[in-house]
Amino acid sequence: MAYFNRDKIYEALDGITVAEKLGLDVSNHGRLEILCTNLDHDDTHKNNCVLNKRGHYCFVCDRQTNLEGMVMNVCGIDYQKALETLAGWAGIAPEEKAADIKPVNKPPLSQKEIEELNLDLETPHAVADITSYGNYRTKETRERDIAGYYLNGENHNFSLKRLWEEDPDTYRVIMNGKIMERLHAIVESGYLYSSKEGKEFLKMTGTSYSAMKRVLNQEAAQLIAARKKLYAM
């Protein structure tokens, strides 16, 4: 797989250039505005979304979308293809990978196993990169901590596949958390269905307690197997 230097791409391109390359309609009202490219936002008002050095910021979505995210959203391609497209626009050739960079393995969990956790391997998700905090909300504010401070930073579009490639340890932490969350839910369901009220509910639905118990045990076994795979690599 070709390796493109992301830092060099960001030195050569900005949100305005990428918007023009993508053929987006750009308006200038004291700031450069477009319709938001985020797939979960059916934008109809350009003044919601402002172009900047690293992509665009949408005030309705309350998040920053980077250059790769813009290309992925508009062109319907994956992260690697988006990076390759940006490199082409910037006139940057692929580089040889450093000798200490290990070949990327496939994620340990299959798409089906990930979908069972209500996640998706390819879909980009907004991940906040917190850079500062303060007492007042700004357009860079992403969330608020338990002490009441506003946490400021930039959102990046990150898929689970890309996370596995760039930070396997964090991928494992996230997936293990989702697996444990689901296992706890199964245990709670088991307690619920074993109660008098739970068995009466199952009877109303035409399902026996033993049948439901088999279903829960089977799902738990699959999750435990997935967790073993997660740490086998």
Query: What's the pLDDT band for 165 if we cut at 50, 70, 90?
Result: confident
pLDDT of residue 188: 92
Give bridge partners of residue 127 from the DSSP assignment. Answer: 156
First CA to last CA across the chain, in angstroms?
21
Among 41, 58, 90, residue at a domain's last position: 90
pTM, whole model, 2 decimals?
Answer: 0.45
48 DSSP 8-state letter: G
Instruction: Say if residues 115 and 178 touch (Cβ distance below 8 Å).
Output: no
Q: Is residue 114 pLDDT above 90, yes or no?
A: no
132: its two tokens: 């500062």
Residue 116 lies in a domain: no
- Residue 3 clears pLDDT 60, i.e. is over it: yes
Q: What is the per-residue pLDDT for 70?
A: 93
* Residue 183 domain-assigned (yes or no): yes
What is the structure's pLDDT at 97? 57
Q: Looking at the domain assignment, is residue 147 inside a domain?
A: no
pLDDT of residue 71: 94
Residue bearing tokens 């296992």: 183
Confidence of residue 18 (pLDDT cuts 50, 70, 90): very high
- Amino acid sitting at position 154: E
DSSP label at 47? G
pLDDT number for residue 107: 82
The neighbour count for residue 161, using CB atoms within 10 Å, is 22
Q: Is the pLDDT of residue 99 over 50?
A: no
Strands 141-144 and 32-34: unpaired
Q: Give 164's pLDDT tier (boundaries 50, 70, 90).
A: confident
For residue 63, pLDDT beyond 50: yes
- Please write the tens of the pLDDT for every residue from 117-148: 777 666 665 555 544 555 556 655 545 544 55
For 8-23, what is the mean pLDDT?
A: 93
- Domain boundary (70, 90, 110) is at 90
pLDDT band at 62 (very low <50, low <70, confident <90, very high): confident
**Is 156 inside a domain boundary?**
no
**What single DSSP character describes residue 56?**
E
CATH number at residue 72: 3.90.580.10
Q: Does residue 103 fall inside a structural domain?
A: no
Domain count for the chain: 2
> Exposure of 101 by Cβ count < 10 A (0-12 exposed, 13-18 middle, 19+ buried)?
exposed
- Does 181 reside within a domain? yes
Answer yes or no: are the C-beta atoms of 59 and 139 closer than 8 Å.
yes
Q: How confident is the model at residue 100 (pLDDT cuts 50, 70, 90)?
A: very low
Task: State how far the Cα of 67 lies from the Cα of 86, in Å rounded to an integer.
Answer: 8
Of 64, 90, 116, the residue that ends a domain is 90
Tokens 């049948």 -> residue? 211
Model pLDDT, residue 13: 94
Report, as an integer, the average pLDDT of 159-184: 82
In a domain, 1, yes or no: no
Domain extent for 58 = 6-90
- Tell me whether residue 106 is in a domain: no
Segment 222-228 mean pLDDT: 88
Residue located via tokens 């109809």: 44
